[in-house]
Amino acid sequence: MEEKMPKKALITGITGQDGSYLTEFLLSKGYEVHGVIRRSSNFNTQRLDHIYIDPHNSCARMKLHYGDLSDASALRKWVDTICPDEVYNLGAQSHVGISFENPDYTADVVATGALRLLEAVRAHIESTGREVRYYQAGSSEMYGATPPPQDENTSFHPRSPYAVSKVAAHWYTVNYREAYGLFACNGILFNHESPRRGENFVTRKITRAVGRIKVGLQNKLFLGNLKASRDWGFAGDYVEAMWLMLQQDKPDDYVVATEDSHTVEEFLEAAFGYVGLNWKEHVEVDPRYFRPAEVDNLRGCATKAKEVLGWAPKVSFKQLVAMMVDSDLEKAKREKILVEHGYIDSRQQP
């Protein structure tokens, strides 16, 4: 009997938070997973180390290739040589605050990068006749100033170079679907976090500090706007929704959210409270972290994802906070041992 070839996925942003969870998920479904990674002077694959198998080993089902969303020729080359069934565009300069400092770069990678990848997929389909499905990592930041609840019909009012670039990527994706019949989906994902979240996003910055304060490595935490409210879910739950979108009969756009929103202050209360600390004794507001334009309130309505995809979040806000604090407390304990033995400097902070 002929053996069935495994499906192939190509992921940009594979080294990021979502890239690592999506890779685990797709490997568990039997996929061969290919990832585009950036050249860096330091290794940037820490989030993948636990699933990495040397490619010389025939059982290696995750393969990494150098490329960049700013390099159209590399994107085309990898789409043509890998011949993926599904392409997930997760790569981005994804920090909203930093996008005000690096606007041009952010637009190039987030907006034009998506266009470059769509064009690589379109050209590959045209020359081979293969079917390739495309997922675009859209963001609740696109709603920006439009008040909640936000769903697929809510108008966009982006408030940062990052968010404007995501709106452009969203419409490029819709345009390639309408113009070329591409199976292309936009996932409009609300904030999702995990122990693998980048350390300069507010949730992880808080849970890292909670761990370090609890073990005595740090005393203060400097933050910006504490009044902003976000719909925070667990990244592990959200990558399943990305995959589900590409398994449907028709391409479409979906909001993915918990439908529950909390302020940064509430996150502080939950994270510090979980280990018996009072956040007010440790947190100071530093205007350096204020943004030129803020997004005050995001809360999604994920009815469509629930009804069409059969998707629902599994991890609650409270469980998410506990998961992140537990992980960062363990990390801080290990860090403390290294400090006490003089291997690292206690002033080293995220």
Active-site positions read 139, 141, 162
CB 145 within 8 A of CB 159: yes
Output the CA torsion sign for 123, 124, 126, 127: positive
**Binding status of residue 271 toward ligand GDR by CB under 6 A:** no
268 contact, one of ligand NDP, ligand GDR, none, CB 5-8 Å limit per kind: none
Considering only residues 173-192, where is the footprint of ligand GDR by CB under 6 A? 190-191
CB 317 within 8 A of CB 232: yes
Figure out which of the listed residues 15, 94, 207, 297 binds ligand GDR, where binding follows CB under 6 A: 94
* Partner whose binding site includes residue 230, from ligand GDR, ligand NDP, none (CB under 5 to 8 Å by kind): ligand GDR
What is the amino acid identity at position 169? A
Distance (Å) of CA 21 to CA 33, 187, 200, 236, 314: 12, 16, 19, 6, 15
Secondary structure of residue 40 in the 3-state scheme = coil
Q: Are the CB atoms for 75 and 117 separated by under 8 Å?
A: yes
Among 62, 87, 202, 246, binds ligand GDR (CB under 6 A): 202
Minimum separation from the CB atom of position 3 to ligand NDP (A): 32
Smallest distance, Å, CB 299 to ligand GDR? 12
d(CA 77, CA 83): 10
To ligand NDP, the closest distance from the beta carbon of 312 in angstroms equals 18
Tokens of 178: 């309408």
In the complex, the smallest distance separating the C-beta of residue 197 from ligand NDP, rounded to whole angstroms, is 7
| Cβ neighbours, 10 Å, residue 161 | 23
**Is residue 96 a contact point for ligand GDR (CB under 6 A)?**
yes
Closer CB to ligand NDP, 205 or 214, in the complex: 205
Per CB under 6 A, does 297 bind ligand GDR? no
Place of tokens 């933050």: 223
Structure tokens at 207: 């849970």
Residue of 8, 63, 57 whose CA lies nearest to 37:
63
- CB nearer ligand NDP, residue 36 or residue 215: 36
Spatial distance between the Cα atoms of 302 and 244, rounded to a whole number of angstroms:
14
Q: Which of 100, 171, 180, 289 binds ligand GDR (CB under 6 A)?
A: 289
> Which CB atom, from 34 or from 205, has the smaller least distance to ligand GDR?
205
Q: How far is the CB of 32 from ligand GDR (least distance, A)?
A: 27
Binding residues for ligand GDR restricted to 222-241, rule: CB under 6 A? 223-225, 228, 230
183-189 and 133-139 as β-strands: parallel, antiparallel, unpaired? Answer: parallel
Which entry of ligand NDP, ligand GDR, none binds 225, CB below 5 to 8 A by partner kind? ligand GDR
